[in-house]
Structure 1
Amino acid sequence: MELMKNVQAWTEGVEIEWDAMQQIRNIAGLPIVAGHIAVMPDVHLGKGATVGTVVPTRGAIIPAAVGVDIGCGMAALRTQLKAAQLPESLMQIRSAIEAAVPVGFDVHDVELNPTHQGPHGRDLRTKMQALYARFETLAILTTLRRVDARRIWRQLGTLGGGNHFIELCLDEAGDVWVMLHSGSRNIGKTIGEAAIGMAREAAHHAGIGLPDKDLAWLNEGTAEFNQYVEALQWAQDYAALNRELMLFRVLNALRATLAHPIKVTTEVVNCHHNYATIEEHFGSKVWITRKGAVSAREGQLGIIPGSMGTRSYIVRGRGNPLSYCSCSHGAGRRMSRGAAKRHFNLDALAAQTAGVECRKDAGVLDEIPGAYKDIDAVMAAQADLVEVVHTLKQVLCVKG
């Protein structure tokens, strides 16, 4: 439906904050926007641009619309393990996963040196070596104030904090899935913040008036734009490999804990939901920025998670051109982290995560399911964007 001029929205039956509506108006009115803004049902207030928004631009990118967690996204794979093969208590498995994958600010003691084949059958060591080589030639390194290269590589294969997570889920047939959510860690944040600063400076020098300084953009043909795009693409690849490495380590933790082989099926998904790329829509090639949105081309698999106590979905895109072939990246927050902590208590957290092996302490209270929108309403609002392939329900959740 048309939410406002130059905006198409999939939000029927889903609440939207007034501040988010204002952000959408601000984006839609920018002169670099090449068409309508597509608003997903999980839309909520973000930095500069709303989370849950698809922004087409011509000849420019808005770094703050991409965000500072460049390449943040989801990965999931279906194993041949059945629900009945899991132990009654999953506490030991959660401990094994937490030992295998550093969370929060923790990093690996040494850089990972994988010599194995990843879930897709590709050699992860080769991917890491290529990533190393490309990093050393990034032009944006001359702009960044300080980069701790050792930390970058020790963070590869780590979860991070906030709403990042690792889950074991069961699908409608009782098959066990590994699903996780993470991005490009601190180096993506560093690149994103540097690019936002460059865009603000460019707007200031050009005398461009903006409704929000975080909507400043970088123009094609400038050195700053070229630096950012090169680093952006690198960080997106870093994020995708980060997720692959974590999948491998979670599978190894499962194998060690359950003491029997665990095979992976061909159903493996690894998708970004904070990124920018060149695509063709309505006969023109434009930059498409998905800030909290997933590519959903016809037949393309994606992941739409709920929260740590609700269902998640493996979906197949319908290729709806009005959404720029996109769908939501999750349920979307309905209240801020601070509001969640004020509104809910630990008893509510325990009740809303009943049956899930997970932390139930004050450190994750802001991730309580009640702080998120109703995933069923979100899925209903985008029925013409995706079809559900698998419905997942977590039985274990590791939070960052």
Structure 2
Amino acid sequence: MPPREAGHKLLNWASQIEDGTLEQARQTAAMPFIHPHVALMPDAHLGKGSAVGTVIPTLGAVIPAAVGVDIGCGMIGVRTAFTKDDVDGRITRTRVGLGALRVAVERAIPLSPGHYNTELGQWDFTAAKIAELERRADDEGVDLVHSPKWRQQLGSLGGGNHFIELCLDETDRVWLFLHSGSRGVGNKIAQHHIAVAQRMCAQWHVVLPNRDLAYLAEGTPEFERYLADLGWAQRFAFLNRAEMMDRFGAVFARWMGAGDHRETERINCHHNYTRKERHAGRDVWLTRKGAVDAHQGATAIIPGSMGTHSYVVTGLGSVAGLCSAPHGAGRRFSRTAARKRFTQGDLRARMAGIEYRDSAEFVDEIPDAYKDIGVVMEDARDLVEIRHELRQILNVKGT
């Protein structure tokens, strides 16, 4: 869908959008350091301070609350050499269904907020990731005193809309797929710097339309400290997904009776982050709050909601879209509203044919609580090209 002007320095790709989301985006676009404009992605919806699904280019400043509290949240997908026939054949031969695989995944990866690893030596690929993060923290002076258990958090999923799935693509090739971020340690880092930004703006007597648009100015010690901590948290999120995927692959291979999971491609991408990019002739800090990198040729993942299709895409390098694309379906109803509107029976009907943990606690994640991913992808047709369409056959969620 071609973008529409939705206000001064604001372009909108969303055909499904609420007035409150537009107002949040207009407030963000009105900040004095925006260049060249704010881009609202097709899945945009209300967020804290600024809308989720907003791409924000800034000159000489970064807004910590716009980056968000789940720094580096994103997707990882692995294509395997296995097919649906391999999975079906394994079930037929062993009479061990996908329910056993789901339980094994739930045992290998801690689920839900506050659930961490009880020991760190269970997997031989974990130590190298922890060592890298320790070195980076030492080299860049990242103070992690607020999160003494950050090592135990590596390889844990979290809750909300974070998930693990076994999927099939349009050729029935098996994919391993999951969504998570920087967990509790990233949240602590974000909350600290959001408070610092609010304090600094108050000291500078900056009048803000929303206190969650408080920013840190480039050239200050506070800005440099945030960028160092942010970079560490983004790397933690990347490695957290990699750790879970390595475990998922090992568990899946064991369930298949194979030596390994036969990985042929791996895609690991953020959708909540900031980095330096060049747009409209200037070097800007580009914040993607619920958006993926869609530079020409870049590969990314756009998940649907629980029970709907997801997509592996290639970026088209849209200049107007700030080389970005949506990060998912985007919520239609809040969690509270979804629980009032839908039942466990509704969820069962929507998850028919998919192995999942049948529980009322997931009602607020029902696909009907989200925007139609088909419409989102149609709105994004000038931002990305679809490479693969994935349908899940197994879903694991944290509460």
Q: Does 1:6 align with 2:15?
A: no
CA distance in 1, matches of 2:305, 2:260: 26
Match of 1:119 in 2: none
> Partners of 1:148 and 1:52 in 2: how far apart?
29
Partner letter of residue 90 of structure 1?
L
Q: Which whole-Å CA distance do the structure 2 matches of 1:74 and 1:278 have between them?
A: 21
Which residue is 2:106 aligned to?
98
Secondary structure in structure 2 of the residue aligned to 1:363: helix
Name the structure 2 match of 1:81.
82
SS in 2 for 1:388: strand
Which one of 130, 133, 145 corresponds to residue 132 of structure 2? 130
- Secondary structure of the 1:389 match is strand
Q: What whole-Å deviation, never above 9, does each CA across 1:54-89 have from its counterpart, x for those lacking one? A: 000000100000000000000001011111222273
Q: Structure 1: state its 5+ residue gaps.
A: 117-123
Q: CA deviation at 1:138?
A: 4.9
Alpha-carbon distance between aligned partners in 1 of 2:388 and 2:147, rounded to the nearest angstrom: 41
1:109 corresponds to which of 103, 106, 118: 118
Q: Which amino acid aligns with 2:147?
A: D
- Aligned-partner residue type, residue 86 of structure 2: Q
Task: Report the 3-state secondary structure (helix = DSSP H, G, I; strand = E; otherwise coil) of the residue aligned with 1:323.
Answer: coil
Name the CA distance, whole Å, in 1 between partners of 2:366 and 2:159: 15
Query: Residues 31 and 112 from structure 1, CA distance in 2 versus in 1: closer, same or farther, beyond 3 angstroms?
Result: farther
**Which whole-Å CA distance do the structure 2 matches of 1:114 and 1:347 have between them?**
38
1:281 aligned partner, one-letter code: H
Task: Give the corresponding residue for 1:147.
Answer: 146
**Aligned counterparts of 2:298 and 2:216: Cα–Cα separation in 1:** 30
TM-score by length of 2: 0.94
The aligned residue for residue 195 of structure 2 is: 197
Judge which range, 23-32 or 126-135, deviates more.
126-135
Q: Which has the higher mean CA deviation after the structures are superposed, 276-285 or 127-136? A: 127-136
Letter in 2 for 1:135: A
- Structure 1 residue 152: deviation in Å? 0.3
Distance 1:60 1:388 in 2: 34
Give the match for residue 42 of structure 2.
Answer: 41
Whole-angstrom CA distance in 2 between matches of 1:126 and 1:106: 22
Q: For 2:395, which of 383, 394, 397 is the aligned residue? A: 397
Contact 2:314 2:387 in 1 (8 A): yes
3-state SS of paired residue (2:208)? coil
Question: 2:130 touches 2:151 (CA, 8 Å); kept in 1?
Answer: no
Give the partner amino acid of 2:103.
S
TM-score normalised by length of structure 1: 0.94
- Whether the 8 Å contact between 2:10 and 2:38 is mirrored in structure 1 is yes
Distance of 2:295 and 2:166 partners within structure 1: 27
Counterpart residue identity of residue 386, structure 1: V
CA distance, structure 1, for counterparts of residue 25 and residue 121 of structure 2: 41
Question: 2:61 maps to which residue?
Answer: 60
**Which residue matches 1:302?**
300
> In structure 2, which of residues 377, 388, 394 is the aligned counterpart of residue 379 of structure 1?
377
Aligned counterpart in structure 2 of residue 346 of structure 1, from 344, 347, 356: 344
% identity of equivalent residues: 46
Distance 1:259 1:35 in 2: 54
Amino acid at match of 1:133: R
Distance 1:27 1:81, change over 3 A: same
- 1:333 is aligned, of 331, 334, 345, to 331
What is the CA distance between 1:136 and its match in structure 2?
A: 3.8
**Separation (CA, whole Å) in 2 of partners of 1:125 and 1:153:** 10
Tell me which amino acid in the other structure corresponds to 1:5.
H
Structure 2: give runs of 5+ residues left out of the alignment: none
Q: 1:234: which partner in 2?
A: 232
Partner Cα distance (1:111, 1:48) in 2:
37
1:333-365 Cα deviation digits (max 9, x unpaired):
011000000000011000111111112312111
Count of matched residue positions in the alignment of Structure 1 and Structure 2: 387
Matched with 2:218 is 220
Give the conservation status (yes or no) of the 8 Å contact 1:113–1:125: no
Shift in Å at residue 111 of structure 1? Answer: 2.3
By how many angstroms is 1:262 displaced?
Answer: 3.8
Partner secondary structure for residue 147 of structure 1: coil
Alignment-derived partner of residue 253 in structure 1: 251
